[in-house]
Amino acid sequence: MSRASIKIPYAEKNGRLIHVSQVESGLKCKCVCPVCKKAVIARKGRVMTHHFAHHGRGECSPETVLHQVGKRLLHERISRHLKRKQPLTLQWECLYCSETHEGNLTKLAHKAELEKNLDTCRPDIVLSDKNGKPLAILEVVVTHQPDENVLEYCEREGAALFCFRIQNTRDLLALGFENPLRPDRVDLCMKPQCEVCKQVLSPATMHVIDISCWRCGLNMKAAVIKAGGHIMGPEAFSPGQKKIAEESGVYISQNYSQTSYKRYLANTCPSCSAFTGAPYLHLYSKMIRNTEGREVGSICIDCMRDLESEGELAENTEGEALGRQ
């Protein structure tokens, strides 16, 4: 970022930010630098972009002024929307699911505070609920990334982090006027997250298929869930999903693995009690394509893989035991 390319179109007058288009040229603007509070002149010539500059030798770097003006512009805009009870829309590319999310920054917020002291850190802007609990942290980034203490606070307290990068005058003006606002980084995914591992959940579809029991040959029903390109059996079902399967005529029983010392659920033959575990679910892929699935909420792919591994180990152990009988 070249200093010569940074033309700041905002200065401070009577304690508020003002755009260069709203004042007279030169020292008649009666404005000061938002950082050092020294006099600035409004340069409104015919060649260069209109902007403010220190009168005499300035001591503030353009990057510092850019950061100060940026966070004040954003704070004033948020406060204005909160006062008027108007939504303030944001759009961002999600770091977790790679989709584009849209949200309302003022939906739950009650107050926006500039440089609020949070004991371990002092973020640019803090959005709090009606009880004073911080909901979101907003950082305006010019040359440095957010302080580690800010990142740790957001992770510890569950506050969402929004970062807005400013590299030029256009980025600065976007904070004040762009709709929707487009932060460069948001540590928040709008999709449901797993309570165990915090990964994004995938939409789940349940398929109930008719198969033949591998032991007695009689007809039976089996239930599987397809999510994120993976197929899983009852070992990964939630209580609600298990109930849906049973209401569809599927018999699910709990089995015990003598290897992993854990109990797991599996599709079971109601006649001979033989069960079909995770290693054989791939055999049903073609049958699943020919059946209509039912949406049954969401499921965590990472946790599902762990359960699949346990189910596969248990299935192999049980199969070896049956082979010895």
pLDDT band at 294 (very low <50, low <70, confident <90, very high): very high
Question: pLDDT band at residue 44, thresholds of 50, 70 and 90?
Answer: very high
State the chain's mean pLDDT as an integer. Answer: 86
Q: How far is CA 61 from CA 36, 43, 58, in A?
A: 10, 18, 8
What one-letter code names the amino acid at 310?
A: E
Strand order in the sheet with 16-19: 16-19, 10-13, 26-32, 39-43, 51-54
pLDDT over 70, % of the chain? 89
Distance of CA 69 to the CA centre of its chain: 27
User: Does position 297 have pLDDT exceeding 90, yes or no?
Assistant: no
* pLDDT tens by residue, 124-142: 999 999 999 999 999 999 9
Between helix 169-177 and helix 62-84 the angle, nearest 10°, is: 10
Q: If you average pLDDT over each of 185-194, 211-220, 233-242, which comes out highest?
A: 211-220
Of 136-145, 168-177, 191-200, 313-322, which range is least confident? Answer: 313-322
> Tens of pLDDT along 153-168?
998 998 999 999 998 8
What would the two tokens of residue 165 be? 């990068």
Q: What is the mean pLDDT of residues 191-195?
A: 73
| Other CB atoms within 10 Å distance of the CB of residue 154 | 22
With beta carbons less than 8 A apart as the criterion, state whether 108 and 134 touch: no
- Strand order, beta sheet including 275-276: 252-257, 262-268, 275-276
Per-residue pLDDT, 289: 84
- Which of residues 33 and 49 earns the better pLDDT score? 33
Which amino acid is it at 175?
L
pLDDT at 320: 36
- Provide CB contacts within 8 A for 134, sequence distance 6+: 116, 118, 126, 127, 128, 157, 159
pLDDT band at 260 (very low <50, low <70, confident <90, very high): low
Share of the chain above pLDDT 90, in %: 58
The reported pLDDT for the residue numbered 321 is: 34
Q: Give the pLDDT confidence score for residue 313 in this predicted structure.
A: 40
Task: Pick 266 or 195 by higher pLDDT.
Answer: 266
Model confidence, pTM: 0.68
SS3 of 28, please?
strand
